[in-house]
Structure formats: C-alpha cells, structure tokens
Structure 1
Amino acid sequence: MSGANNGKEEDEIPPPQRPPSPPPHTTFAARGLHAPNFSAFRPRDIRIPSPQSMNHVAWSCDGKRLGAVGIDKVVRLWHPEKSMELRSASMFSGGHSDDVDYISWNPTHPDLFCTSSQKDRRIVFWDTRQTRYIQQLQLKVSPSQTNFAPDGRTIVYTTAGKQMAVLTFGKDSDDAKEQWHLSDKEPMPASTATFNHVGDGLVLTHQSEASIRVVDYPSLAVIHSTPAHVGGCVAAALDPRGRYLASGGHDSIVNLFDLSEWICTRTITACDNAINAISFSHDGEFIAIANQGSYIDICATETGVPLHRVPALGESPTVSWHPSKHVIAYCGQTAIREGGPAPSAWVSLFGPGM
C-alpha cells in the first residue's frame, strides 16, 4: 500500500490524561487478550490538493473498500489492501451537483452504498459495478447523515434542521421494480440516528439536548431516555457485542452505558476537545474518538484507559473502524496557516499493515 506523509505538521499533541488504575479483572491480561501495540504503528496519510475538506469515510461491509466524500462532488473508493494511491481510486460522479457530505454502505451487500449532500438536498444510491448511480432522491430538506437498518431495506436520515426521517425500499405496485421511497412517518428531532443490531429500535441524539433517546421502530415511540451530556450530545455508537452504548458530547466526554441496566458504567475523559465522532472496533474492545483536536484517541472499552493518541493532519469530523481488523480510517482538511502551504483534503489510515 502506498500513500504520502510529506510535509506533515509537527505540532505538539498533548498526551491524554490517564485515569486511575482500573479494576484488575477488567484488564486485557486478566481476560487473556493481547491488545495491538498501537504505539508501534504510524498513520498512512493521503493528501488531495483542494480548498475543501474531506467530510466522511466509511468501510464496505466486507472491509474491502473504503469510501470517501467531500470534494469535487465525487465519491472516491479505494481497495486499501491493494493501494491507497490517488490514481488507484475508483471515481463515481454525476449524482450530485454540489459538495457531498456523507457515505453509508449497505450492511447486506458490499457493492451498494448511498451518499448525501446538504447543498443539493439529494440522497443518491450507487452500485460499484455500475459507473452511473442507480437512483437519485431529491428532498425538500438538507440531509446530513444516513444510517441503514441491519436488513439494508430501511434508512434513517437526519437533516441540517436536526430532524430525523425515514426511507424504505420496496415496490409501488406489483409490476414496479423495488426502489427507495420517502416514508410518511412524521419527522422526529434528532442530530444523529443509529439503528440497534436487530433493527427494531433507534438511538437518537440531539446536539442541543442533554439526554439520549431510545425509540421503538417502526412505531417511533420513546422507550427510554437517559441524561448523557450537559452541553448536548453529538455522537453515539453501539458496541458490536451489544453490551454498551457510547455517547460523545460538546463537553469532551465519552460515556459508556450498560445496555442491560441503562446506567453509565464508565466515563472517558481522555479528550481535550469537543467530540465529533466515536466508533467501536469489530470486537468491541476498543473505542476510537474523533474530536476537534488534531488527533484520534484510542481507548480500551472495558477500562476506559487511553491506549494511544494518533496524530492527524487536522481536525477529523469522523472515524471508522474496519469491520474485521484493528484499523481506523479518518479524514479532514489540513490546517490553514498564514504564509503556509495551501490547504489539502486528506484521508488517513492507522493500524497494523497500513
């Protein structure tokens, strides 16, 4: 795999604050696990000259492709196991007329994904086996994030106006082919919306609300609400094992809630800045935290102990673990400095083999 690390800023990144020693039975050694030596790895940085930022990255469900959006109205797909060179990226264009903000992969098919743009108010559906998009939905609102249900036949999307709405996949009539349709469900207030692993519930956050809401799907009736962050909750992620819900807020804190009792069992205070995004590793043992600083924190789930602070080329709006490896992807834009080089969009990978 190839990439570029040229001209990386040597800003001092403060080390994370270490919490008190965790209970011995929660450590990796006590549980017979061997954690990767994250400090032995270096980021693989791919720069793309652009005055715009790379806004989002996401892995296909089989982990063979990495998608990135944010510049040129184009979707870029790489096969990281083969190459991360710019010329090796597959380009998908023609679906959007303005900046692309978000990419989501269908969890049941490694070739299907969708992208969204707040500016052109579109959600566009793609198949990697075709160069042209397969469906384009024009909305009356600006979609900011999209999230597939586990069966790949429902999407919840949140808008720039902090509302959540639903798309469903099906037929209008017996003779029609299956397509994505706008649901007639009333929108709900939310900044982010995440399906549970079964698909019969949603976790909703709102950047102006202190609590996290859990709603039933498809009724959207509120099942549970729990206080999370004083300044508002901006990110949430579910542990793949089904044990924890992690939330991040403007207060720079990440909370871990025990899903069996709905109590906050752990608080991670390693970050020095407001949280942007959080992601669990495929085995649930690690949490990656993107924040408004130029680094990604990797912490142990069961102890909350910070394991490594990964330097980044700038603030990252997102972070995503590989679906089967201890590798993270993240992206953003280099810092603009007076008298310095022109800003670049970037995509970075970190972990063994990168």
Structure 2
Amino acid sequence: MASYTESMQGYFKSNSKIREVQAHSAKVHSVAWSCDGRKLASGSFDKTVNVYYLERDRLSKDITFRGHGDSVDQICWHPKNPDQLVTASGDKTIRIWDARANKAVATVNTKGENINICWSPDGSTIAVGNKEDLITFIDARTHRSRNDEQFKFEVNEISWNNEGDLFFLTSGQGSIHILSYPELKLQHVLNAHPANCICIEFDPKGIYFATGSADALVSVWDLGELVCVRTLSRLEWPVRTLSFSHDGKLLASASEDLVIDVANVDTGEKIIEVPCEAPTFTVAWHPKRHLLAYACDDKPERDRDRDSGTVKVFGFPNDF
C-alpha cells in the first residue's frame, strides 16, 4: 500500500499543469483565495488589486480595484464573506473592498506605511502592522481603530490562531511572541530560529503552525504543546512565504530558490518541487482543492518580458 507521500507524488505527476494570467504591470506582492475558493486576488507594486474567477481549468480576470496611492503589500479575504477583502498599502491606509460592487467599502487611515495585515477568525477585527512595528486593531464593522500596540522589536508577520484567542508575531530576533487576545498580554516567547523569523502560517485543522526564517529553515510547531516537531531544510535562501493545504497535510514554502518546496507536514518528506523562473515571495493553497497560487519576483531588467506581474496556479489536471 502506497504511503501518503507516494500517493501525493503520483497525484501531482498527473496533475501538474501550471496556468498563468498576466495580472499586473509590476511585481505581485500578495496572492490570496476567498474563503469559498471561487476567487483569487492579487496585490501589486503597481498600486492595484485584481480579482479573478476560478473556472474549471483556468483563471478569468474579473475586477481591478484602484485607489491605493502606493504599493499594495498584502491582501487578506474576510474569513466568512467570500466577497470582501482588505488590503494593506504603503500609502498609510487600508482599504476594504466588495468584489460584488466593484468598489471600496471603506478607506481607513493609519499611522504608518503598512506592510502586513490579517483578519480575526470571526471577522470582527482587522490587525495591520506598519514599518515602525506598530500594530493597529480596527473594528471591521465601524472601520474605527480600537487600539494600537507599539513593539520595541522588528515585527515581520502577524496572525491570530484559528480560535482567535491568541495573537502571534514573528520577530527580527528569530522569536515568536504569543499574546492573549483581546487582552494582548504576553503569554510566551518561543526562540524559534537563530536568524530573522519572517513568516508564520496556521494549518486549517488547528494542529500545527509553521514559521519561515532567514536561516533558510521552515519549522513546524505543535500548536497545543508549543514545541517544534520538525524542521525542513531543503531551501537555501531565506523563507519568505508559507501556506498549508486545505486538509492540513501539505506545506508549501518559497524563497529566492527557483523552486517552491511542497512537503508532507506529518513527516517533512518532499512531495514535489514546483519550478520557478525567479524568486517567489507569495504562495497560497486553495481552501478546498490541491491548487497552489503563487507569484514570482520581477525578472532582471534585461530579461523582463510578459512574465512581469504574472500570477500562476499549479495543480490543474493535465488532461484538460
């Protein structure tokens, strides 16, 4: 009987077509799927946000949102509303968009150039972080700031756990800071990596979370015990982005390596490598299918062509 790793390796060998869409006129910073998996969004250095419909074997561009005055650095869909998303920009605002109405529902002014954003699991609160390591918590209904938390260390990425009662931050010191929520009292500091801890991701089943670091390692943590259960060391450059599959069994990680590593979460074994032509700084598994969306860095000026600003999805069946 084939192991899970062998089964998935066989699956991807027969389901490995990559579909791409020319999305933007400049580098894509963030890709994210809506909670129902019917739409994919991308945010770019060109200040725009695109939304695409997922058809059976391709993406179709649907809407372009304009309004930000600077690069769109991160996108996050509402955890329960498949038509609402929020974007963080260097223009010192966040914007909430409605994919049905093709417009911004709200523009919220913030105190700095925003670099990371997340939505609480119940959809009531948006947290946004800026370059000065200030985290602002915004009421998603009234669009007003509830409170600010200034940190004295470099904050790279932020996220609630799946239950919404803990708030996690990755730091430039290689540590993970865990705060109670909504009290925001420090509960734990995990010394996760010897170098900058860049990104963090929670598995949909609530069993694990993973972090990626400048030491080129991915560490997988038991969420209940808060212990590292394994590390993945196949990449050679700082790990910039992570994503768990919908079943919590696959973990994609990417960096300046010209591959995306897809691992078996339970064993750490390599399932497959997705080839890339340039560094990859954003990956996102579909919430219901084994489809992986990603976007690569711009190519060097001398090689730059239509691939600049391209969004790709790996995992479509080859027989279409």
Shared fold per TM-score greater than 0.5: yes
SS in 2 for 1:318: strand
- Choose 1 or 2 for highest CA Rg: 1
In structure 1, the partner of 2:161 is 196
**Does 2:146 match 1:183?**
yes
**After superposition, where does 1:35-184 map in structure 2 within 5 Å?**
35=8, 37-40=11-14, 41-48=16-23, 50=25, 52-81=26-55, 84=58, 88-118=60-90, 120-170=91-141, 179-184=142-147
- Whichever residue aligns with residue 150 of structure 1, its letter is P
Q: Number of residue pairs matched?
A: 313
- Summarize deviations over 1:241-295 as a string: whole Å, max 9, x none: 2221211100000111112222211111111211001111111100000111222
Report runs of 4+ in structure 1 exceeding 4 Å deviation: 82-85, 339-343
- Whichever residue aligns with residue 107 of structure 1, its letter is P
Indicate conservation of the 8 Å contact 1:44/1:348, yes or no.
yes
2: CA distance between counterparts of 1:259 and 1:131? 38
Unaligned runs of 5+ in 1: 1-26, 171-178
Quickly say closer, same or farther: Cα 1:81–1:184, change in 2 above 3 A: same
In structure 2, the partner of 1:8 is none
In structure 2, the partner of 1:224 is 188
Deviation at 1:227, TM superposition (A): 1.1
Indicate conservation of the 8 Å contact 1:111/1:128, yes or no.
yes
Deviation at 1:122, TM superposition (A): 1.2
Quickly say closer, same or farther: Cα 1:341–1:72, change in 2 above 3 A: closer
Unaligned runs of 5+ in 2: none
- Bigger proportion of residues as strand: 2
1: CA distance between counterparts of 2:237 and 2:295? 17
- Whichever residue aligns with residue 174 of structure 2, its letter is A
- Whichever residue aligns with residue 180 of structure 1, its letter is H
- Give the TM-score normalised by the residue count of structure 2: 0.91
1: CA distance between counterparts of 2:304 and 2:47? 26
- Whichever residue aligns with residue 168 of structure 1, its letter is D
Q: Identity of counterpart residues, as a percentage?
A: 30
**After superposition, where does 1:171-320 map in structure 2 within 5 Å?**
179-188=142-151, 189=153, 190-206=155-171, 208-320=172-284
Deviation at 1:155, TM superposition (A): 1.1
- Give the TM-score normalised by the residue count of structure 1: 0.82
SS in 2 for 1:55: strand
Quickly say closer, same or farther: Cα 1:342–1:38, change in 2 above 3 A: closer
- Summarize deviations over 1:296-337 as a string: whole Å, max 9, x none: 110000110111110123112111110011111011334215
1: CA distance between counterparts of 2:97 and 2:116? 16
Deviation at 1:216, TM superposition (A): 0.4
2: CA distance between counterparts of 1:229 and 1:147? 23
- What's the RMSD between the two structures over aligned residues? 2.2
Indicate conservation of the 8 Å contact 1:92/1:132, yes or no.
no
